[in-house]
Structure 1
Amino acid sequence: MNTPISSSTFKRSVWLEKHPKLGISLMDHLFNRLDGAYPNRWRASFQSKQAIANWRDTWSEAFEEEGVTTQIISDALRVCRRTCDWPPSLPQFLKACKPALDVDAALYEAIDQMRARQHGRDQWTDPAIFWAAARVGEYDLISQTFTALKPRFEAALKKVLDGGGIQPVPARVPALQGPSAAESTREYGRQRLDELNAADVIKNVSKRGNLDWAYRTIEDEKATGKVPLNKLTIARHAIFNVTGEQV
């Protein structure tokens, strides 16, 4: 870059500081790389020095939030050169920073980690895999074959990735455990529902969707303790399959 552009960012970022080896900031270096990859097209997008400063602030902030590293930037530039005829927007560049997930590997992970999640030992390499698994459903992932699951999981993963705003993997609420010899199934079930505070889950109207019947089942169990165990189990599975909640 011929003339350094001053940034308006009030909180300095490592991306905006002068790099000791480059002699310019990492953002200036990225600007130059994109200008070289898209001669005329890239620089033409900026009509003023302030426009460049705004670009630097916005992109560096996104890199900080997304945990982007210099190696990731190098990989993303290669992806852009192969796939983008025009200079990438920020969302496009951030997508290039994230390598495409291997569906087969992601599904194997989903199956293994859903089993481990039953015991609170799940570890996910990417939260998108968890949310795709939640869309398919814990019971189906554990009970169905890989071949049967793959098209459903692939479609679920695509929806999760396309939707953006992927949330972290939530902590699993302990599942109902079997009663001891001194407790009846019904008494133990009512006790555990109290411990899980099912009423708070029921009040979360924003997540109900078409699951009112399932939440009513949980509510009836808490109030009466007379809901058949199989009906209660179906309701809990339905809630988890749609929302990822354990109730």
Structure 2
Amino acid sequence: MNALTGMAGGELAEPTTRPYSKWFDPHPRLGISMIDHLYNRLDGAYPHWWSANFASQQAIDNWAESWVEAFEDEGITPEDVAVGLRTCRVRYQKPPSCAEFIQACKPSADPVPAYHEAVEGIQARRKGELGAWSHPAIYWAAMLLARDLMTQSYGQVKDRWAAALKAQLARNEWADIPPPAPALPAPGQANLSKEDAARMLRELDALGMNKAAKPGEFDHLRWARRIMQRVDAGDKSLYALQIANAKEVLGLT
């Protein structure tokens, strides 16, 4: 049935004037517009319940214009609608409202499952893996809060996470998810060539960082002396506790 040009068994309604949208264009493969196709799919998923919502052709036209306007505002794509139809089958026993259907189209907008996906994705990337990302917005939101997501509970980050995810989803366009940085080898597992090892030793020697201290030469109080040097130089960034500890170990208190 072509839902927007006449109800089954009825006369064709007078054509209405609508703002242009691709959702009203005839689809070459479907033979009808995408919004017509969506009406038919929902009518098939909710037999009798769906069509019972529309008492006239004008009611169908009103539904189509309202939903298409919402799709345009929210950046809903045909691919999103396919996701929405699958989600509705398991989430809603009765026909969804416009808001419910849009939420079904973008399940990644739910911050709770997106949070768990983000945590697992960050862990995977730290191992040198790409991670499983259902939507690029989750990845980019996760990168903004990566440290907090890995060190704090969901209760501590849920508001910031929800805000970051919402902001990313609102962008409607996202850069590609980059490949992960190579994972660092575990201690003792590095495969370093003799040439690279020699080069690193030369660089450390040049920086004065590879000189072995003779017994009794290592200054265990160097950290305290450096703090006091910074105090004498007028460094105001030191904490009072740092200064007090340095003075104590140096016998200056």
How high is the TM-score relative to the length of structure 1? 0.49
Q: Which has the larger radius of gyration?
A: 2
Higher helix share: 1
Q: Which has the higher contact order (CA 8 A, sep 6+)?
A: 1
